[in-house]
Amino acid sequence: MASPTIIRIGLGHDTHRLGPGTGLVIGGITIPHERRALGHSDADVLLHAITDALLGAAALGDIGELFPDTDPANKGRDSAEMLRLAADRVAAAGWRVVNLDCVIFAQRPKILPHRPRILSRIAEILEIDLAAVWLKAKTGEGVGSIGTEDAIAAECVVLLERIEHA
Ligand code: CDP
Ligand code: ZN
């Protein structure tokens, strides 16, 4: 009898302040915008949420444990590289990504026009099928720190399955 598939779900959430500057890094691409996300690394809120979702599903810690913001090596760091390193650990622990689904919370800019490039980039970083990644966007309806454009946030859920060994 075939053994049951072992699956794990993971949840990631991240928030960054928005401040003066141009170019918003989201999902591994830079979107033209008159404000940018502030942070120790490149402040890619979406890749940070995905990284935490993956690590959480595999019970392997979180992004702050792997890449402490007290370490100068992580200053201005490419979040795609951090996600890749986290994904390598998850794979080494015997897990494969089934799919992930994400939400960006931003009053502006419009995310949907950039969605195809973001999805491609995430699939490329994680070396998974394009069809296994999805992204939605929501405004803050003009209220709260999202609505006033003081902050941007992202959430991600990921499903992992145990890699079968023959
Ligand atoms: O209509 P609803 O209140 O559910 O959503 P909304 O926050 O008003 O956003 C309307 C639509 O705009 C969403 O369905 C997204 O597809 C899109 N959107 C976007 O492209 N970029 C954002 N930063 C926010 C929303
Ligand atoms: Zn972050």
Structural domain contains residue 2? no
Paired with 50 in beta bridges are none
Provide the residue range defining the domain that includes 46: 8-162
Model confidence pLDDT, tens digit, residues 85-130: 999 999 999 999 999 999 999 999 999 999 999 999 999 999 999 9
The whole-model pTM stands at 0.95
Give the up-direction half-sphere exposure of residue 22: CA atoms within 13 A in the CB hemisphere: 1
Structural domain contains residue 39? yes
DSSP assignment letter at 41 = S
Model confidence pLDDT, tens digit, residues 43-93: 999 999 999 999 999 999 999 999 988 888 888 789 999 999 999 999 999
User: How many Å lie between the centroid of ligand 1 and the Cα of residue 26?
Assistant: 16
Classify burial at 92, counting beta carbons within 10 Å of its beta carbon; exposed 0-12, middle 13-18, buried 19 or more. Answer: exposed
Residues 6+ apart with CB under 8 A from 5: 161, 162
Question: Which of 107, 115, 138, 149 is the pocket-test mutation for ligand 1 (most atoms within 8 Å of CB)?
Answer: 138
* 3-state DSSP helix/strand/coil % of the chain, to nearest 5: 35, 30, 35
Q: How many domains does the chain have?
A: 1
Give residue 68's pLDDT: 87
How far apart are the C-alpha atoms of 19 and 36, rounded to whole Å?
A: 6
Structural domain contains residue 3? no
Question: Which of 33, 46, 139 is the pocket-test mutation for ligand 1 (most atoms within 8 Å of CB)?
Answer: 139
Structural domain contains residue 32? yes
Classify burial at 90, counting beta carbons within 10 Å of its beta carbon; exposed 0-12, middle 13-18, buried 19 or more. Answer: buried
Q: Report the nearest-CA residue for atom 18 of ligand 1.
A: 137
Q: Residue 126 maps to which CATH number? A: 3.30.1330.50
Structural domain contains residue 41? yes
Structural domain contains residue 126? yes
Tokens of 104: 């960006």
Structural domain contains residue 1? no
